A = this chain, B = another copy of it.
């Protein structure tokens, strides 16, 4: 099940960076949902390389095609198969990787695990794999929006030491999309873009934090004990390439508070329960409590740098590698739709699981 995510709304991705293409099969989608490629493509365009000067220059149109699971523009309830052809394949740019393991990539570990690897463009470890996730996530987002009134949104919250000020309760998609770094704080965004450009020129890379929110999630989603909502979100986020950390609500910062300071008092107003603050991040006991869900995802600086690095070759000899593939100085602007997609996949799955057992 390594390449499948979800229990009831199940997503299976396939494909390598170079080869026939990449794709996804979505099983368990509710029937009669209006769905065409037009619902999918916008998120793929947000994920796509070459969309701005601060991301990977790989030239791909990433045009999605729905092969099954819909009829007359509506979902059938049968598996939805979607795929994107690989276009900008340049295996020759990677010929050196056939013999040398790139530091902090998956080259070495794939070789040891499988005894074989597709060294062209990183093969299965390439961020191209996330095309399938983003396509499936677009379906999930539509279900959440149309059937549950839930909005999922993510943005770049921090690049290296540059932090944005954003109100998770009110920020909108158009604020996120207002600039190429996908940070809704225009001042911070400006600085972030300049930092990333400096890194690009230096052949170096930089990481940061994406913040994800889900607004409008009703109380009751989440399945204790192992499939707590935050546990599945954590898994979803740590399954993204280059992610190194996840926290929810007060997260790592919350440990500086005492219990009394940290607790979220309940209050009731006209029969509606809410909390007067939200250190829980919208989840208590593994189950959503009706407040906004918010969490942070740390992404390391991309491992491909355009300078010489020490490494080892396939004969286990020490050597020097200078990467010649595309240089992606900062993955975060493109990670934003990935975080949204994974969030949506977790939420839809839990919405359906909740319905199965409890409604």
Q: Do B224 and A124 touch (CB < 8 A)? A: yes
**Chain B contacts of A116 at CB under 8 A?**
31-32, 71, 74-77
**Chain B contacts of A213 at CB under 8 A?**
none
**Chain B contacts of A301 at CB under 8 A?**
254-255, 257-259, 261-262
Main secondary structure on A side of the interface with B: mixed
> Quick one: which of A62-113 are within 8 Å of B by CB?
65-69, 71, 74-81, 83, 101, 103-110, 112-113
Bound together, the chains give a CA A204 to CA B236 distance in angstroms of 34
Contact with B along A188-209 (1 / 0, CB 8 A): 0000000000010000111111
Q: Do A226 and B4 touch (CB < 8 A)? A: yes
* A271, CB-defined interface residue at 8 Å: yes
A173 shortest CB reach to chain B, Å: 24
The stretch that binds B, out of A11-19, A53-61, A164-172, A179-187, is A11-19
Q: Do B12 and A300 touch (CB < 8 A)? A: no
The residue from B204, B258, B281 contacting A205, defined by CB atoms under 8 A apart: B258
* A216, CB-defined interface residue at 8 Å: no
The residue from B5, B25, B263, B357 contacting A77, defined by CB atoms under 8 A apart: B357
**Subset of 11 A-B contacts with CB under 8 Å:** A3-B27, A3-B78, A14-B68, A23-B81, A77-B116, A103-B265, A108-B219, A125-B224, A254-B298, A265-B309, A265-B311
Q: Do B311 and A220 touch (CB < 8 A)? A: no
Closest B residue by C-beta to A290: B112
A55 shortest CB reach to chain B, Å: 14
The residue from B77, B104, B280 contacting A264, defined by CB atoms under 8 A apart: B104
Closest B residue by C-beta to A283: B109
Per the CB 8 Å criterion, the residue count for chain A at the interface is 155
**Chain B contacts of A312 at CB under 8 A?**
266-268, 273
Q: Do A68 and B20 touch (CB < 8 A)? A: yes
Q: Do B71 and A109 touch (CB < 8 A)? A: no
Q: Do B359 and A114 touch (CB < 8 A)? A: no
> Quick one: which of A232-263 are within 8 Å of B by CB?
232-239, 244-252, 254-263
* A28, CB-defined interface residue at 8 Å: yes
Q: Do A27 and B8 touch (CB < 8 A)? A: no
**Chain B contacts of A80 at CB under 8 A?**
14
Bound together, the chains give a CA A14 to CA B356 distance in angstroms of 20
Closest B residue by C-beta to A255: B207
* A21, CB-defined interface residue at 8 Å: yes
* A354, CB-defined interface residue at 8 Å: yes
The residue from B78, B124, B262 contacting A123, defined by CB atoms under 8 A apart: B78
* A150, CB-defined interface residue at 8 Å: no
